[in-house]
Amino acid sequence: METTIPRTSGSGFGKLLIIILLLAIIGASVVMMTQAHARRHDRHVANIPDKCNSNSFQVHMFRQTDNRDAYLCFVEGYFVVSIWNFTKESIEKWGDDEVTSFSRPSAHTIDELIRYMESTGYTVVP
């Protein structure tokens, strides 16, 4: 009589190693993409709040839903937006009144930038 021993796939160490390797590759890719985005973003945005704010802007917009003010400007060859929230609660919560700043390279005119901001709920302040 011949006995057969069932073959097992092992301890699973090989599969675990492959999973860890794939996660490491994915993680490294995400970090590289994020760093590249940050470098590109910083180049256009580094000084926007200093150059585009409530004292220096082309268009002032406001969004009632979250009480945010947006200042639209043309800075260093780019149309840019600085968003601020001047409510006491927001400043106490975040420690600052500046929310964000970003460039909009796809906007070729201030009107295109205004239309984009209107699509996100902002209205022009006269």
Examine the pLDDT at 1 and tell me if it is beyond 70. no
- Which pTM was predicted? 0.60
Please give the pLDDT value at position 102: 87
Q: How many residues does the chain have?
A: 126
> What are the pLDDT digits (tens) for 33-58?
434 433 444 455 566 777 888 888 99
**Could you tell me what percentage of the chain is helix, strand and coil, using 3-state DSSP and rounding each to the nearest 5?**
45, 25, 35
Which band of pLDDT confidence, cut at 50, 70 and 90, is reported for residue 11? low
Yes or no: say if 70 and 122 are a contact pair by the CB < 8 Å rule: yes
100: Cβ contacts below 8 Å, ≥ 6 apart: 82, 83
Q: What are the residue boundaries of the structural domains of the chain, listed by start?
A: 11-45, 48-124
